[in-house]
Every structure is written in C-alpha cells, then in structure tokens.
Structure 1
Amino acid sequence: MDAIIIGGGPAGISCAIWLKKLGVECVVLEASAQLGGLQTRSPYENLWIPGVQGKTGQQVAASLADHAKAVSVDVRLNCPAVSVEEQQVTTPIGTFSAPYLVIATGSQPRTGGFTASDRVVIGPGTGMEALNVKGKRVAILGGGDNAFDQARFVRDRGGKVTIFSRRPPRAQKLLQDMIPDVPVVVGPYKADQSAMTLNGEAFDAFGIMFGFEAVVPQGLRPDLENGYIRVDRFGQTSLPGVYACGEVTDYWHPCVTTSAAHGIQVAKQISIKLQK
C-alpha cells in the first residue's frame, strides 16, 4: 500500500482515481455509507460544474462512486478514522499504514450551538427539503449564499420564511435579488431552540446556515490556518508524508470542481515522490 486517503468526497475520490491510473496502490477510508461527501446531501441540480448539466449533487456523488468502482479503487465504507498517528490510521476494522497519507475529510455545517432535530435543520440540502414547510413559519439563520438559497426553496414550497443575519448579508446579489419578498432582519438576535423563538417570536422550524468548518481527523496535528489545514502549493501539510486536499484546506474557493482538481494535484505529487 502506497497511500491512504481519508475521505471519499470529490477531493478524495479524484485523488484515488488518479493514483490508481498512475499505478499507485491506495485505499479510501470513508466514514459514511456512501461516497460523494457533501454532494450526497444535495438534491439540487449542480449548475456550477463545467460540462455537467442536469445532474443533482446526489447524482454527481453517484457518478464519482461509479468511476471509482470502474477503475477498481479500494474503497472501505462505514470506516471512520478513529485516530491518526503519522501515516498510521486506526479504524473499527483495523489499522492501515502507508508511506503517504491524504486528508480529504472536507467540511461540515457549523452548528452554532444548535442541535439538529425534527424542527431544526443544520446546513443546506436534504434535511431542509425533508421539512414540511407549507404554511409554516420558518426562520433561516445566516446571511450567506446558502441562507438565501434555502430561504428561496422554503418560499417556493409555500413556507412563510424570514432570514435573520447578525451582520449585513454577504450572499451574492443575484441570490438576494431572487427573493425580494422575503423579510431579512439584520442585527443581533436571541434564539431559543427549546421554545422555538427568535427575539421572542415563535417559529415552526429553524434552518441553521452558519457556513462550514473543517473536519480534522482525531489525533492529527497539522498546522492550521483559520481552522483549516494549511498546505503548500503541492498540497503538502506541515507533517512529513501527509497531504491534504479539498475543503478541509480552504486552499481554493470551495466547490466540487476545485476539490477534484486539488485531489488530482496531490495524486500527481505523490506519484512523483514515489518515483524518486
């Protein structure tokens, strides 16, 4: 085994596919039951991937999994990294070791102190879509792109939605302009999940859209920058033999395309190192 990849999202799978085609033996350790990372949460058409039209995020995830299977990438699902020490990864099914380790664990929605429930959804995607919002009062907390996107989807499904943002919204103007009829409350607010109130006003559901944070495996101690793993232009971390790619690094603008490209870059670097 030449390389271990922790994480089976776009960055990890792209890295694994290229390593395999470059003749480098690797294994992908994925904590969940399916490949695709955050794309598995998205039932929406992904309009941002060049050359990919009409596919939802979930279909993009399925395509990544199909490609990995087609080139015989060794994938271990339901196999979280319990702890990591140098190039040794302990999992529930055993310990893996290799000269090179790739961290592609991505990011996860910030909770902001809230707890997910049948009335509180954290992050965009399938959870929000599963909410019965028709005729219900829904508060979206946050001022970024996802907050305005999710507010639009709630409105379009018949919900009575209000956006609460502590600071002036930073969402793209295009997204803000799409929902001129949705109230946006800017300024400090007090949210009470147990009472389901915001500033004393009752709501049927909350959508928590506070952005994302890096998922760093337990036991790994690389240098961080703004909470994300710091890497050089080759994807190398501060730890010898340990690379990182995709949204866990916040190195490029976070999206499927840049994550895949970052994974490919790391794969090429590892193949070059192994040839020396």
Structure 2
Amino acid sequence: MPAAFPPRVCVIGAGPAGMSCALWLHNLGLEATLVDTEKSPGGAMLLNFLNNNWVLGQRGLSGLEMAARFTEHIESLAIPLLLECRPTRLARDAHGQFQLSLETPQGISSVEADAIVLATGTRFRGREILIGLPGFGQCDPGRLRYGPHCFTRLSMLAGKRLLVIGGGDNALENAALALDAGASVTVVARNQFRAQARFIERLQAAGHCALHADARLTALQPSPGGLLASLEGAAGQWQLEVDRVHLLAGYAPNTAFLDGILAAEVAPPQKDERGYLCGDALGRTSTPGLYVAGDVGNPAFPNVLSALAQGAQVAKTIEFDLNQTRPR
C-alpha cells in the first residue's frame, strides 16, 4: 500500500537532536513519534549538572533544566513521546514502510514510519576502561567517579588528593574546579593535552597541581590512605597515593544496538572506525530512509547547539525527500 499522509517519522532518541527534529517535523506538517530507552527525555543533558552558559538565551541553566524546558515544549504540542522503550527489530516492507518493534513496560509494541531518524547520542566511557587494571577489583567504588559524575559533590574534595585521568576540556575543567574546592590534583593524559589553552595555563600556574602528558595508569589498588595508583610515562614509573580518581576519557556513540535489530532487508548504515554514523551534510545515511542527527554522527564537535541545528536540518531533509515520493 502507498505511504500514509501526512508522512510518519519515528525519531529514536529523545535528546536535544531528537526533540529538535520532532519539533521541526511537527511544524512542517509531518507526524513525528519520539522513542527513548530512558525514563526521562533529555539525553546527555540529564548528566550536565553545571550551569551551561554556552547556549544562547539559556544562560545559567543546567542541562537538567534545559531538558525540562525542551520536554515541556514537546509535550505542549502533544508529540507522542514513548519512554522506556527498547528497539528490538527494524524491518521494512515491499512498499518501503518501516516497522520498528519495541519492548516497552507494557509489553511488545511497534511503530510504523516512512522514515527513521537515529538520534541516539553518545555515552561516557567509564568503568570498562579501568576494569582490567591490576588491583581494580579490590578498590572502593566510592572513591571512583566517571564522566559527568565527576562534577558532583566537588565540595567534598577539600583537603583531598585527586587523580584526574584525561586530557580534554572536561578533564582539565574538572581539575580546575577540584582545585577551587581545595583539593590537590594530579592530571594524567595518555597523549598530549588537547584541552583549551586557558585550562592548561591555569593548571600549570596553580600550586598543588601536576600535569603529566604521555603517561598512563598501569595499576590501581587499595592503600591504607585511599588508593595507590601506579603510573608510567616518559620519566619512568612512579606511584601516587590519592583519595579519589576521576576518569574523564571521552565518549562513545550509541550505535551498537543497531547490529542486533536490523532485518535482512534493511542495510546497516555506514559507520566510521569509532562507530559513529556517517551521514551527508543533510543528515542522510547510506541506508535510504534512515537519517542521523546529533552527537551520534558528530564526533568533531558534539554539543547541544549543533544537536539542535542538526535535528532541524534532518527534519527539512525528510520533508523534501518524502515530498518527492508523494503521488501527484
């Protein structure tokens, strides 16, 4: 049967890119449905605990607060928002219609669509990086923090010894905030530091702070005073006793789920060597009918602003593409 009109689009991922895409689809006259595995919409914004002054017009709001505003906008338009729903199969019939099967709290359900938007974002890399280190299994989990959680309860670091692992903006900003809270900080980066110069210069000039590039953690084990970290770098090997370890080692795309849900007639969309989805400038993937928006396809500059813009762009692309297939 021919596609129903207005066209139906299923957006997988209810972060800023997904919500922006659904909003634009709605305003362009298409039927959008948002699907997300989490209990609340917002994606990575739900883990942004600090006030974000990088989004125009949203000054002083945390990611949680911005997510609440975005969600209210979506709900005010009665755009269907299916939460706690895990995609289990994506099939396509002879007429090109997609059927997305979902595992929901109420059981198995499905959504039919003329196009699918993949806006599943990224996840922070955490415990899996350290789990193979000698001694890690015996360490007190309460002394370890990963990704965005490193930015919580910083006031408790006063007088403590902190080891930060990572060389990007998040790692060095975290180190700077820990110093402000009264901690002594050591930062270890596997390669050269790639953070903004202002962070590097500030930490280099600070007391109670040491920066080690081209170094790595080789073991982590309990000690009478906290944790004993074994490190290796250009200067050789050394050990450092600390009270807490913060791991800020970047992000990975949420694309692995696709490998297990695509039916034979749906070709896997192309990914790069890190697993990010490859799309053209307008958000089309290598698989007709599948589109990509937001951080899951943007390893170069992932952020809320680019996600919002890409969501809008993909909505316009879908409107154009589906209009080309309408009966005349």
TM-score by length of 2: 0.78
1:3 Cα shift? 0.9
1:198 Cα shift? 2.2
| Of 272, 278, 288, the match for 1:225 | 272
The change in CA–CA distance for 1:84 and 1:138 in structure 2 (over 3 A counts) is farther
Match of 1:128 in 2: 151
Match of 2:130 in 1: 114
The change in CA–CA distance for 1:120 and 1:23 in structure 2 (over 3 A counts) is same
1:26 aligns with 2:32: yes
Match of 1:190 in 2: 217
**Are the equivalent residues in 1 in contact too, given 2:51–2:60 (CA < 8 A)?**
yes
Residue type of the alignment partner of 1:202: E
| Of 250, 256, 260, the match for 2:308 | 260
Equivalent residues, number: 275
1:233 Cα shift? 1.2
1:88 and 1:204 map into 2 onto residues whose CA distance is 51
Q: Tell me, what secondary structure is at the counterpart of 2:162? A: strand
Residue type of the alignment partner of 1:177: E
2:240 and 2:212 map into 1 onto residues whose CA distance is 13
1:226 Cα shift? 3.6
1:70 aligns with 2:70: no
| Of 162, 168, 186, the match for 1:162 | 186
1:187 and 1:261 map into 2 onto residues whose CA distance is 36
The change in CA–CA distance for 1:170 and 1:223 in structure 2 (over 3 A counts) is same
1:148 aligns with 2:172: yes
Q: Tell me, what secondary structure is at the counterpart of 2:84? A: coil
2:22 and 2:187 map into 1 onto residues whose CA distance is 40
1:207 aligns with 2:246: yes
Alignment RMSD? 2.1
Greater mean alpha carbon deviation, residues 42-51 or residues 126-135 = 126-135
Q: Tell me, what secondary structure is at the counterpart of 2:308? A: helix
Q: Tell me, what secondary structure is at the counterpart of 2:52? A: coil
Gapped regions of structure 2 (runs ≥ 5): 1-6, 93-97, 132-139, 231-238, 263-267
Residue type of the alignment partner of 2:228: T
Residue type of the alignment partner of 2:84: N
1:150 and 1:83 map into 2 onto residues whose CA distance is 40
The change in CA–CA distance for 1:137 and 1:81 in structure 2 (over 3 A counts) is farther
Q: Tell me, what secondary structure is at the counterpart of 1:113? A: helix
**Are the equivalent residues in 2 in contact too, given 1:252–1:258 (CA < 8 A)?**
no
1:249 Cα shift? 0.3
Match of 1:139 in 2: 163
Match of 2:16 in 1: 10
Residue type of the alignment partner of 2:160: K
Is the strand fraction higher in 1 or 2? 2
1:83 Cα shift? 4.2
1:153 Cα shift? 1.8
2:79 and 2:248 map into 1 onto residues whose CA distance is 34
Q: Tell me, what secondary structure is at the counterpart of 1:63? A: helix
Structure with larger Rg: 2
1:252 Cα shift? 5.6
2:215 and 2:32 map into 1 onto residues whose CA distance is 49
CA deviation profile, 1:18-40 (whole Å, cap 9, x unmatched): 11111211211111111111111
1:173 and 1:209 map into 2 onto residues whose CA distance is 18
1:90 Cα shift? 2.7
The change in CA–CA distance for 1:191 and 1:265 in structure 2 (over 3 A counts) is same
**Are the equivalent residues in 2 in contact too, given 1:189–1:198 (CA < 8 A)?**
no
Q: Tell me, what secondary structure is at the counterpart of 2:215? A: coil
Residue type of the alignment partner of 2:76: A
1:85 Cα shift? 4.3
1:143 Cα shift? 0.5
Q: Tell me, what secondary structure is at the counterpart of 2:245? A: strand
1:234 aligns with 2:285: no
1:89 Cα shift? 2.6
Residue type of the alignment partner of 1:89: L
Match of 2:322 in 1: 274
1:84 Cα shift? 3.7
